[in-house]
Structure 1
Amino acid sequence: MPPRVRRPRRVLPGFGLGMGVTLFWLGLIVLIPLAGVFLKASGLGLAGIWQIWTEPRVLAALRLSFGTAFAAAAFNTVMGTWVAWVFVRYSFPGRRVFDAMIDLPFALPTAVAGIALTALYGGQGWVGQWLEPLGLKVAYTPLGIVVALVFVGLPFVVRIVQPVLAEAERELEEASATLGASRLQTITRVVVPTLWPAMLTGFALAFARGVGEYGSVIFIAGNLPNRTEIAPLLITIRLEEFDYAGATAIAGAMLLLSFVVLLLVNSLQAWLQRRGTR
């Protein structure tokens, strides 16, 4: 009789137990609260939900929230990658201090950030008093919302891209330069393909934060209906009016649109990873 072969004992639990705990925790923390949003909105019926979704004020708020969040996330993706590159690839006095300052928007209350940005970019602010004579009004415009979302979203991109850059193989860049590639070719064909997954992850996180941002935006936005009123503020207004079903209907629209955008970003990220491994 052949000796019985003992399987090595796994440190972590198997797939069945791991998947069970994952689904239980995901359902308890994420899926059940989200299902409650749609359950509350279902009291209006499909016709009532559609009527709220197609209201001009709601459509304007959704366009503003998603448009400014997308613009701020795209800008942060470029500038956040640039900042991470400088912090990783160069040594200069005060680098650790500046690196630590990147995380300050995480610690600063969003309402305080909104007040500070409004005071800075308002008509009498340190920056606004010079921009408005040039015809560039920031406070109480969609541009002010983008500025606020750039402020709160920058750390997401920097902290995602920074460790990927630190672990990147510089030998590939040196080999590219040795083979006669220009700096632009090295960046576009060697560096950027390595960073794309991290950059898209940072974009997704900054976008998701921007869509639901409230405190730092309401002070600098001006909150004019159909112009500078964001969707989270409109939800708050409906809640103050005790229109809970209407508020959850708008929240449901935000969840669905956010899910579609994030799904597209994740699909693009997976496609780029498969393309890079070929």
Structure 2
Amino acid sequence: MKRRVLPGLHLTLGLTLLYVSIIVVLPLGALVYKAASLGFVDYWRIVSSGRSVASYRVTVLCALGATAFNLIFGVALAWVLVRYRFPGRRFVDALVDLPFALPTAVAGIALTALFAPNGWFGAYLAGIGVQVAYTPLGIMVAMAFTSLPFIVRTVQPVLEDLDPALEEAAQSLGGSDSIIFRKVVLPLLTPALLAGVSLAFARSLGEFGAIIFIAGNQPFQTEITALLTFIRLEEYDYQAAAAVASVLLITAFVMLAVTNLLQARALRYTQRA
């Protein structure tokens, strides 16, 4: 009889479902229950108020901007870490995981100190008429900082496992570097890119600690949805907080569902190719 390191299926599955239920399903269920207790009219009144809609707009647009930046910079960084050897490479590779280890509040304070009008970077940018702190641009900087590792760490293993013979064959057939990247490398990276982008976007939507210090938190201008939820909690309006938070939850679920569909299509295309 073949030995198994882990216990049998029933025990392992039971423990897994118990863990998921306590850590994930129970809090989300409580959120949905609290929001549903409002009734549709009150729920719609809260989630469609002017301040709520403005916070959605700020959050989503800044998250899209940060994710677009990380898509370009993250792929370039992963490419450099995989394809080149240079002094300090291991140090740079370790720095990628810094946002995972660093408390987000500490990251927010550090970014504010750097990009404030009297900060190291902020003073120079202010000289050319660019203000980062206390603007939507500052929100995007904080989101990009905290979500960058998701794209780098999903693309990097795929690049490491990529067969060099594919690129060599395309090069021998006269393909330029840009054509090889677009026709050979990029299709193979697409499933990993979709996963990284979805995770980075979801993280940006829910980011709080790194943003509140650099955003300025002005209603209708730089107030994110997570902060509005926190404000409602401080006002002991738990139902309104649950209603606003449920919008982010629904958005994240829809985005992940669409991403999974796109990933499945990309994988089928890659397998056929």
TM-score between the two structures when normalised by the length of structure 1: 0.92
Secondary structure of residue in 2 paired with 1:177: helix
Secondary structure of residue in 2 paired with 1:44: coil
- Indicate the percent of aligned positions where both proteins have the same amino acid: 51
Shift of 1:112: 1.4
Shift of 1:23: 4.6
Secondary structure of residue in 2 paired with 1:93: coil
C-alpha separation in 2, matches of 1:10 and 1:78: 46
Q: Which runs of 5+ in 2 are unaligned?
A: none
1:4 maps to none
TM-score between the two structures when normalised by the length of structure 2: 0.93
1:273 maps to 267
Matched, 1:209 2:203: yes
Which stretch of the first structure deviates more once superposed, 251-260 or 125-134?
Answer: 125-134
Shift of 1:20: 5.9
1:108 maps to 102
2:29 maps to 35
Residue deviations 1:73-97 (CA, integer Å, cap 9, x gap) = 2221221111011011111111111
Matched, 1:81 2:75: yes
Q: Which runs of 5+ in 1 are unaligned?
A: 1-7
Matched, 1:243 2:244: no
2:166 maps to 172
C-alpha separation in 2, matches of 1:270 and 1:243: 41
Residue deviations 1:138-177 (CA, integer Å, cap 9, x gap) = 1111111001111111111111111111111011001100
Q: How does 1:119-138 map to 2 (within 5 A)?
A: 119-138=113-132
Secondary structure of residue in 1 paired with 2:39: helix
Shift of 1:25: 4.0
C-alpha separation in 1, matches of 2:151 and 2:202: 12
Shift of 1:257: 1.1
Shift of 1:18: 6.7
Count of paired positions: 271
1:5 maps to none
C-alpha separation in 1, matches of 2:184 and 2:49: 48
Shift of 1:110: 1.1
